[in-house]
Amino acid sequence: MATHTERPGAGLGPFFHARSIAVVGASDDITKIGGRPVYMLRKHGYAGAVYPVNPKGGTVQGMTAYASVRDTPTAPELAILAVPAAATPAALRDCAARGVKAAIVLSSGFGELGAEGAAMQAELVDIARQHGMRILGPNCLGTVNVADRMIGSFSISLEEYMPLPGGVGIVSQSGNVGSHTMNTVARRGLGVSQFMATGNEADVDVADGIAALAEDEATRIILCCMETCRHGERLVAALELARSRGKPVIVLKVGSTEQGQAAAASHTGALTGSDAVIDAVFRRHGALRVRSVEELIDIGHAASILMPGRLPQRDAVTVMAASGGFGVMMADAMSQAGLRLPALDTKTCERIRHVLPMAGTGNPVDATAQMSSRPDILQKLLSALLEDPSGSALVMFMSLSLYNSRLRGVYLEALARVREAHPERALMIVSQGPADAVAQINALGIPVFPSIDAAASGLAGLVRLGQLAGRPASAARRPVPEEAVDPAVFRNEYEAKRVLAAAGIDVPQEAVVRSVEEAVRAAEGIGYPVVMKIVSADIPHKTEAGGVALNLRSAAAVRDAYGTIAASVARHAPQARVEGMLVAPMVKGGVEMIAGISRDPVFGPVVMVGMGGIHAEVLKDVAVQAAPVSEDEALAMIRSLRMFALLDGARGQPKADIRAAARCVARLSEFACRHAAGIAEIDMNPILVRPEGEGAVVLDALMIPAAPATPAH
């Protein structure tokens, strides 16, 4: 895989807007990957020139064929390569010599098959780099520009029909998942702008696709199917470009990158997984992550209908049905999806009862079967709910009413009137019915969900998407100059805390001693009570080796503890190299937290913060983000913890100094970026967060060196 130097999306124009296309490996047989693009370009009315290339020459599908791309009447803007893997490098060289600027390599048999295939894939990249070309694939499903009928794909979903042109852009690493998404979106009656499947990503990657769709005028929303992120900075740049263009990105990220070897010495290494990291990166840069194809399509479908301007940003919903039972089912589903159902205003209830005296005016609203008796009744009910001061999104259950021609007329007339009167409000329907009826409702700017559960998860996703879209763009990640690290920081906690203190992180006054009398003098200088801990690079978890004594209140206690610790460590770790004992003040009064740094293979240093003790280790109550983070971002991470109430004065306890804790996390993240080349992991555990105004102090710290770089062969 070559290193990208260009901005995401650079040089991708020919993949979507080529005015001439060569199909290398063109075939008369439309069941072959070399036959299908020629067939579909002609069938769907592509207006540009198509040059079938086949070494036999003659004709292909009734068109003049050329023995080589070098023989085409003009230089094609795009080449589609559908030849065996072994023949692809030579075909690409011919394209480069002819002046082709972009190539789609449909064939498989490259990096996905092992070392020999990977070598051929690298050869393709070398050819492209030498001639200023971009390559999509190999082993990919290509591209589609629906409006221009430009097809650089062999997807069978395009054999019979093209999607309608519209605002949904799709980029996917997996061709089948992407094609399924495009097909399903089209069958939902939505228009598609452009489609790209990136395959092995030898050159063009998902970040390129997101950036290209962000720049595309026809695209309003971007659906992305991602298996692996290879370039963290490029993905971030593409997501920020989409956010700056007002194009929401919804991502189905499947699988998770292997952590490599988990460092048993560090809590942090076990608590930060790459899947959680990319989750945090998506949130930071405005992308909504979903967990299934169905959710991707449901939320993407609804968002494209509500865009621009009607994405809900509040987690409040009002639900209405003609049946109390269905209303309760809706309320349950919405609550389980994390949505609130606020009570209706008194005046709203009066308006509903004025129209339907028997209606239930709770939330859910039981409007009885009378709600669909006349369009004016339904219109008044919906208007009352949309004008309620709560500003909630409104979801109406219609069951199978659209299959009844009379009820269909009532609903469509009422919905058209309501949408005209309230064009800015989020209104959604739960119903199944004839495709044309659903399309009519969608055309009003009202999404239709096929089930109650789909509506609940869909609305919850739309709220998250609206909230992400409403956030300001992330500040540009300012580069942090790297510095060499003193190897002493890996020896023991004293040295680790000493360098953290120099970075502006609060640590206790403490001393390393090597005799009982030194320990007593240090304790008296610090002031009782004190803590004593073994100092050894070979004992990362001191408590387990009996290497810690707490709350020592006198010289006698210090002397006893010194002997006890020495004996216990000798039993538990007889081979350990002991550098002495650490004497530190016994700090009390606060809430314990944990923070640390680990190394993500894609995003580099990652900062983690969580509640101390079992909350982090057992409950996994932690938040992660790619480093560096600002103090405000660190504060948001702390506030996101499930156990944040422990810091916020739960049960009458004093509020903790969370601003000091956030400052500590932010400074740690910057320190980690400065020393990214030398430090793999940092563990600060525990951090004692004192009451408001009293700060946060790191009581123990551990640093793990980065493995030396493997020399290139």
Q: What is the mean pLDDT of residues 264-280?
A: 61
pLDDT, tens digit (0-9, with 9 covering 90-100), for 289-346: 998 999 999 999 999 998 877 889 899 999 999 988 999 999 999 999 999 999 999 9
| 63 and 187, same domain (yes or no) | yes
Which of 585, 600, 616 corresponds to the end of one domain? Answer: 585
In the prediction, which pLDDT does 274 show?
Answer: 74
| 185 and 269, same domain (yes or no) | yes
Residue 236, in any domain of the structure: yes
| 564 and 596, same domain (yes or no) | no
Of 477 and 604, which is predicted with more confidence?
604
What is the residue-averaged pLDDT of the chain?
90
| 345 and 433, same domain (yes or no) | yes
State the Cα–Cα distance between residues 700 and 267, nearest whole angstrom. 12
| 159 and 272, same domain (yes or no) | yes
pLDDT surpasses 50 at 590: yes
Q: Residue 525 is inside which H or E element, if any?
A: helix 516-526
Among 429, 474, 461, 472, residue whose Cα is nearest residue 312: 461
Best-predicted range by mean pLDDT (137-141, 484-488, 649-653): 137-141
Q: Considering Cα of 298, then 300, then 304, then 309, what sign does the dihedral take?
A: positive
pLDDT, tens digit (0-9, with 9 covering 90-100), for 402-438: 999 999 999 999 999 999 999 988 999 999 999 899 9
Residue 566, in any domain of the structure: yes
pLDDT bracket for residue 261 (50, 70, 90): very low
State the Cα–Cα distance between residues 242 and 244, nearest whole angstrom. 5
Lowest-pLDDT choice from 4-13, 130-139, 246-255, 439-448? 4-13
Among 186, 180, 195, 112, residue whose Cα is nearest residue 149: 195
CATH of the domain at 188: 3.40.50.261
Residue 475, in any domain of the structure: no
State the Cα–Cα distance between residues 225 and 228, nearest whole angstrom. 10
pLDDT bracket for residue 711 (50, 70, 90): very low
Lowest-pLDDT choice from 138-152, 380-394, 549-563, 699-713? 699-713
Lowest-pLDDT choice from 54-58, 186-190, 245-249, 287-291? 186-190
pLDDT, tens digit (0-9, with 9 covering 90-100), for 206-239: 999 999 999 999 999 999 999 888 899 999 999 9
| 574 and 648, same domain (yes or no) | no
| 251 and 340, same domain (yes or no) | no
| 385 and 431, same domain (yes or no) | yes
State the Cα–Cα distance between residues 545 and 568, nearest whole angstrom. 7
Q: Residue 459 is inside which H or E element, if any?
A: helix 452-470
Residue 523, in any domain of the structure: yes
pLDDT surpasses 90 at 2: no
Residue 496, in any domain of the structure: no
| 579 and 630, same domain (yes or no) | no
Of 217 and 161, which is predicted with more confidence?
217
State the Cα–Cα distance between residues 411 and 423, nearest whole angstrom. 17
In the prediction, which pLDDT does 667 show?
Answer: 96
pLDDT bracket for residue 482 (50, 70, 90): confident
CB atoms under 10 Å from CB of 172, counted, come to 27
Percent of the chain at pLDDT above 90?
Answer: 76
pLDDT, tens digit (0-9, with 9 covering 90-100), for 137-157: 999 999 999 999 999 999 998
Lowest-pLDDT choice from 188-192, 260-264, 500-504, 691-695? 260-264
| 156 and 88, same domain (yes or no) | yes
In the prediction, which pLDDT does 269 show?
Answer: 41
pLDDT surpasses 60 at 114: yes
Number of domains in the chain: 4
Q: Which residues of 207-231 are buried (b: 16+ CB within 10 A; e: fewer)?
A: bbbbbbbbbbebbbbbbbbbbbbbb
| 568 and 605, same domain (yes or no) | no
Which of 246, 281, 304 corresponds to the end of one domain? Answer: 304
pLDDT bracket for residue 477 (50, 70, 90): low
| 56 and 158, same domain (yes or no) | yes
Which of 553, 585, 617 corresponds to the end of one domain? Answer: 585
In the prediction, which pLDDT does 621 show?
Answer: 84
The partner residues of 134 in beta bridges, in order of sequence, read 102
Residue 263, in any domain of the structure: yes
Residue 498, in any domain of the structure: no
pLDDT bracket for residue 272 (50, 70, 90): very low
Residue 1, in any domain of the structure: no
CATH of the domain at 570: 3.30.1490.20
Q: What is the mean pLDDT of residues 552-564?
A: 95
pLDDT, tens digit (0-9, with 9 covering 90-100), for 9-42: 999 999 999 999 999 999 999 999 999 999 999 9
State the Cα–Cα distance between residues 645 and 188, nearest whole angstrom. 44
pLDDT surpasses 70 at 363: yes
Among 194, 142, 148, residue whose Cα is nearest residue 167: 194
pLDDT surpasses 80 at 576: yes
pLDDT, tens digit (0-9, with 9 covering 90-100), for 657-708: 999 999 999 999 999 999 999 999 999 999 999 999 999 999 999 999 988 7
- Pinpoint the alpha helices (H) of 156-266: 175-187, 206-215, 232-244
Q: Which domain, by its residues, includes 148?
A: 13-304
In the prediction, which pLDDT does 5 show?
Answer: 52
Percent of the chain at pLDDT above 70?
Answer: 94
| Amino acid sitting at position 257 | T
